[in-house]
Amino acid sequence: MKKLFLPVFLLGIFFTSCSKDDDVVEEPQEKKEEEKEEVNLEIEEFIYAGMNEIYLYKADVPELADNYFSTNAELRSFLEPFDTPLDLYEDLKSSQDGFSFMTSDYVALENSFAGKSLSNGMKFSLGYIGNTTDVFGIVQYVLPGTSAEEKGIKRGDLFTEIDGIQMNENNLSSLLGRDSYTINLGKINDAGYIEMTDQTVSLTSVEYTENPVLISKVLEVQGINVGYIMYNSFTGNFDSELNAAFTDLKAQGVQELVLDLRYNGGGSVESAVDLASMITGQFEGEIFMKEQWNAKYQRAWDPESYINRFNNKIRTGEAISSLGLGKVYVLTSGRSASASELVINGLDPYIDVVQVGTNTTGKFQASVTLYDSSNFGRENANPNHTYAIQPLVLKSVNSAGVSDYIEGLAPDITKKENLRDYGTLGDPSEPLLKVALNDILGIPQEQTTATMKRAEENFRTFGESEMFDPTYQKMYIEKLPSSLNL
């Protein structure tokens, strides 16, 4: 049986509200039982139904077994004690699942998955200062046409305060959640320590749609045309822009490619398959990735339905502009996740993938959005609320059977970003890009200096500006398979 698909948008946002009344009033037992029957559990029932139907780790959670509750009354008795829908959702998740999430406002996150969000244009890493809980931010890149660009913020700028308040692990989320704020500016000096200035900058967030293809250019390096693309999110709405970048690289006769995914937390599986097809082209029709679902869904369709193949068209129907390469350099960091890892793992059996940087996150599962409707699709969703859930539904496996890279994908050439010298993205002297170019040219790699080591010891990075977004480092499919027994 072939998969039948319904269009669905993906989402996720802050966890709020509750569907039950928490007030307790002492009443006669007869009236208590009467009120108990009237408790509104529509959100909880939707959450349970969705997880019971399609959750990847359903077998890990006894309560999700199809015959665990013999009557609807037993199910309601299980659902009622949870204080909030989020409490129920977290209780139904497997201990090996760190990525499923839910939302109380799917409209806002539909915009987020389309690349739309409130932004001041400053993308930054976060780290601890020494052995304290105080936090600093250091700018990774700046989005064009934003408040940060207008105010002259640049890569490598550092800040420790927001509106005059020192950032720490306790106040970080609330401070960064402000629509407008003022930061102080500084840098990491040559000795590897923070050096602040008296300069402050006020930034304002507005609705912004980010093109994930931040940089696309050709570098002429000792007679070799090297393509460089910095791609920061697998956003389906911008597949045409990504394809156009490859068209331009192809027209300029690139012989090597450096794909910069160091800040790419993932996104659309379909976009990942298309990107791999753009890099290659000679493997059309070959297996890129196989899907593993829960036991119920793994038996539902014919074998071909679980296979994603290298293809020749993007979702708009445009022909893919492929480079036909047998080797690609991929720049990674601990921020590189899900669909970024999928590209590396999917290409690895076919071409030489040279990974430069540090270990990736280690996420090989994809999720899908379930709405409160008869078939979990967006159409005819329950008008009484805007909750939706985003459970993991499949595990990706490459054509050689490789999956479960829990510790991430290890680099072939290890290179940490130098906080003291971030360099200019796309410039041949930028440290990570320089390592890739040196390998292309056969030049021995530089050794880590004492100053670099000192900077690494003084500052421990742990996240980035997007880490408070529920869609952070998520991989998803954009079509929902028809439910089996509704």
pLDDT category at 23 given cuts 50, 70, 90 is very low
417: pLDDT strictly greater than 60: yes
pLDDT category at 108 given cuts 50, 70, 90 is confident
Give me the percent of the chain exceeding a pLDDT of 70: 87
DSSP string, 296-358: HHHTSS-GGGGEEE--SB-TTSPBP-----SEEEEEE-TT--THHHHHHHHHTTTSEEEEEES
- Name which residue leads in pLDDT, 326 or 192: 326
Q: Which residues contact 96 (CB under 8 A, 6 or more apart)?
A: 57, 60
26: pLDDT strictly greater than 60: no
Per residue in 435-485, pLDDT (tens digit) is 999 999 999 987 655 555 555 555 677 888 887 776 677 788 877 765 444
Mean pLDDT of the region 228-244: 97
Distance, CA of 29 to CA of 87 (rounded, Å): 27
211: pLDDT strictly greater than 50: yes
pLDDT (0 to 100) of residue 261: 98
| Angle formed at CA 299 by CA 55 and CA 303, multiple of 5 degrees | 115
131: pLDDT strictly greater than 90: no
Mean pLDDT of the region 221-247: 97
Q: What structural domains does the chain harbor?
A: 116-209 (2.30.42.10), 213-481 (3.90.226.10)
Instruction: Give the N- to C-terminal CA distance of the chain in Å, as an integer.
Output: 17
Mean pLDDT of the region 187-201: 89
pLDDT (0 to 100) of residue 246: 98
pLDDT (0 to 100) of residue 481: 66
pLDDT (0 to 100) of residue 121: 96
* Tokens 């602040």 sit on residue: 196
pTM given for the model: 0.88
Residues in the chain, how many? Answer: 486
11: pLDDT strictly greater than 50: no
Q: Containing H/E element for 185?
A: strand 180-188
Distance, CA of 256 to CA of 470 (rounded, Å): 36
Per residue in 31-40, pLDDT (tens digit) is 444 444 557 9
21: pLDDT strictly greater than 60: no
pLDDT (0 to 100) of residue 14: 31
pLDDT category at 22 given cuts 50, 70, 90 is very low
pLDDT (0 to 100) of residue 402: 98
Considering the chain, what is the average pLDDT of its residues? 88
DSSP state of 171: T
pLDDT (0 to 100) of residue 452: 56
Per residue in 285-298, pLDDT (tens digit) is 999 999 999 999 99
Mean pLDDT of the region 304-333: 97
Reading the block at residue 63, the tokens are 């309560």
152: pLDDT strictly greater than 70: yes
pLDDT category at 83 given cuts 50, 70, 90 is very high
179: pLDDT strictly greater than 70: yes
Q: What sign has the CA pseudo-torsion 276, 278, 284, 285?
A: positive
Distance, CA of 241 to CA of 318 (rounded, Å): 11
Mean pLDDT of the region 324-328: 98
pLDDT (0 to 100) of residue 19: 43
Upper half-sphere CA count for residue 403 (Cβ side, 13 Å): 15
Instruction: Tell which residue, 159, 160, 157, 162, has the closest CA to residue 176.
Output: 162
Distance, CA of 204 to CA of 200 (rounded, Å): 14
